[in-house]
Amino acid sequence: MIMVQAVEAVSAHQTDRVMQALIAGLEIEFGHGAGEALAQRFIEAEESDFLWQARVTERWLGSYGSAEEDAVELDRIAVLSRLDHRWFVAVSIVDGDGNAHGLIGRRQFRSEQAARQAFATAH
């Protein structure tokens, strides 16, 4: 049995359900008790993508000038995200197609209010 649920297809209040689905799928594949630890490692490894896709709101901060002179134009985007009962504010590097390429910074918050205050001043 394969369980797939796109993170970007759910609202901020449903992102915790995405985490539960990820854990359940990993437990099916690797056994009971392994899912939560593996899910955390998976999210850490793909943090940029998860925070971008789990965003509640975003704000364009400006262009991102990389050291390389690539043909790809990148932007700095502030994001407010909710994942696994936690709130995050991050600055994502995103291309014109909406694909995350990395994070400049990330902060975690216990409350939505604190996260929204940090998001308002992110630069």
pLDDT per residue over 62-108, tens digit each? 999 866 656 678 999 999 999 888 999 999 999 999 999 999 999 99
Crossing angle of helices 35-45/15-30, nearest 10°? Answer: 120
Give residue 97's identity as a one-letter amino acid code.
Answer: D
Laid out side by side, the sheet with 74-83 consists of 55-64, 74-83, 86-95, 100-109
Whether the model clears a pTM of 0.85, i.e. scores above it, the answer is no
Q: In this predicted model, what pLDDT tens digit does every residue of 13-58 receive, in sequence order?
A: 555 676 788 889 999 999 888 888 898 898 888 999 989 988 999 9
Coil, helix or strand for 47?
A: helix
Predicted local confidence at residue 85, as pLDDT: 86
Q: What is the pLDDT of residue 66?
A: 63
* pLDDT score of 9 more than 50: no
Domain ranges of the chain: 7-121
Q: What's residue 112's pLDDT?
A: 96
Quick one: which of 52, 92, 58 has its CA closest to 75? 92
